[in-house]
């Protein structure tokens, strides 16, 4: 069979299986070989790698991954795609397809089961779950080397920006705490069928061995960050005080002053380093 990145090959499979696209699963299949090439190149896969693909669809990228990687584990929620994947992946003996919801899969257990200490994630993500998937993958106990994914362009921007921009928030800080993010390429909507309403981008997140800032309690750092951005129109001190996490407004204001920051500063003005310092200073003050 020819490559599925070809628009006609994809249309033929869809027609032959009478496959109905399900909007609720974010099904926009990639039909552009040059974008596939860029994703595969950016993911830098070798025979030593175990790749986790989230949402293989009809197997377009899965085929390419199987040609490069030692092992591919592809998790697909839609039962109707199973017979198609059976056909399109029949020639590869290093692919395991799991019919499940990625948000319910125990990824560290999956990696261990397949004898992999560290995995690479490669995916054209279903956009409705981008943030929860990325957050779950970034958690400390998930053994990952890199995440190379197609996301909405706007989300790729949020992952890469720094303080003082409207896109900067909890996602930017989490991504930049755990990884080095790089936008690989922008992808116009007409590279997919059906065509989505938004433009997309491929982003690679390369995991740090150690985070770029030091914090005494990672969970507390992220509780503070979430609280700081919960009420974007409020000051950081009010946001934290209103979150009910055991810190009062005056404690935040005093700590900000010790750090040389204004009492009325907003979350979007603080760098990752400043959040780490704030969290370390507030930790012993928690009630």
The nearer residue to ligand SAM, 129 or 174, going by C-beta atoms, is: 129
Q: Give the shortest CB-181-to-ligand SAM separation in angstroms.
A: 20
What is the CB neighbour count within 10 angstroms for residue 135?
A: 15
Q: Give the shortest CB-30-to-ligand SAM separation in angstroms.
A: 4
The nearer residue to ligand SAM, 36 or 282, going by C-beta atoms, is: 36
For residue 82, the SS3 value is helix
Q: Give the shortest CB-178-to-ligand SAM separation in angstroms.
A: 21
Q: Give the shortest CB-207-to-ligand SAM separation in angstroms.
A: 21
DSSP assignment of 17-53, as one string? Answer: TTPPP-GGGT--EE--HHHHHHHHHHHT--TT-EEEE
Q: Give the shortest CB-257-to-ligand SAM separation in angstroms.
A: 45
What's the longest Cα–Cα distance across the chain? 67
The nearer residue to ligand SAM, 106 or 273, going by C-beta atoms, is: 106
Residue 261: CA atoms inside 13 Å, Cβ hemisphere, count? 22
Q: Give the shortest CB-43-to-ligand SAM separation in angstroms.
A: 13
The nearer residue to ligand SAM, 4 or 174, going by C-beta atoms, is: 4
Apex CA 86: angle with CA 83 and CA 91, to 5°?
160
Contacting positions for ligand SAM (CB under 6 A) = 25-30, 54-57, 60-61, 75-78, 101-103, 124, 126, 129
Cα dihedral 89, 90, 92, 93 sign: positive
DSSP code of residue 208: P
> Which residue number is nearest to ligand SAM in terms of Cβ?
55
Encoded tokens for 269: 């003005």
The nearer residue to ligand SAM, 25 or 229, going by C-beta atoms, is: 25
The nearer residue to ligand SAM, 144 or 276, going by C-beta atoms, is: 144
DSSP assignment of 166-203, as one string? Answer: TT-SHHHHHHHHHEEEEEEEEE-GGGEESPPSS-EEEE
Q: Give the shortest CB-89-to-ligand SAM separation in angstroms.
A: 12
The nearer residue to ligand SAM, 176 or 200, going by C-beta atoms, is: 200
Nearest to 198 by CA among 127, 123, 124: 127
Report the distance separating Cα 150 and Cα 101, nearest Å.
18
Encoded tokens for 137: 């993958």
């Amino acid at each position: 069979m020819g490559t599925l990145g070809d628009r006609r090959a994809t249309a033929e499979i869809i027609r032959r299986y009478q496959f109905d696209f399900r909007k609720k699963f974010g099904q926009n299949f990639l039909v552009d070989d040059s974008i596939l090439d860029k994703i595969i190149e950016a993911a830098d896969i070798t025979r030593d790698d175990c790749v986790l693909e989230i949402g293989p669809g009809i197997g377009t990228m899965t085929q390419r991954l199987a040609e490069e990687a030692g092992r591919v584990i592809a998790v697909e929620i839609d039962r109707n795609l199973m017979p198609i994947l059976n056909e399109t992946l029949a020639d590869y003996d290093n692919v395991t397809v799991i019919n499940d919801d990625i948000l319910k899969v125990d990824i560290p257990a999956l990696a261990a089961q397949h004898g992999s200490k560290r995995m690479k994630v490669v995916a054209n993500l279903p956009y409705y779950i981008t943030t929860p998937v990325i957050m779950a993958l970034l958690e400390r106990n998930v053994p990952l080397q890199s995440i190379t994914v197609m996301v909405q362009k706007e989300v790729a921007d949020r992952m890469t920006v720094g303080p003082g921009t409207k896109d900067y928030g909890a996602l930017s800080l989490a991504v930049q705490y755990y990884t080095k993010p790089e936008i690989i390429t922008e992808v116009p909507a007409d590279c997919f069928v059906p065509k989505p309403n938004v433009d997309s981008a491929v982003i690679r997140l390369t995991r740090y061995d150690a985070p770029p800032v030091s914090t005494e309690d990672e969970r507390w750092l992220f509780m503070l960050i979430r609280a700081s951005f919960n009420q974007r129109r409020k000051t950081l001190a009010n946001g934290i005080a209103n979150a009910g996490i055991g810190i009062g407004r005056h404690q935040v204001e005093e700590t900000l002053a010790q750090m040389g920051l204004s009492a009325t500063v907003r979350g979007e003005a603080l760098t990752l380093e400043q959040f780490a310092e704030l969290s370390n200073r507030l930790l012993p003050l928690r009630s």
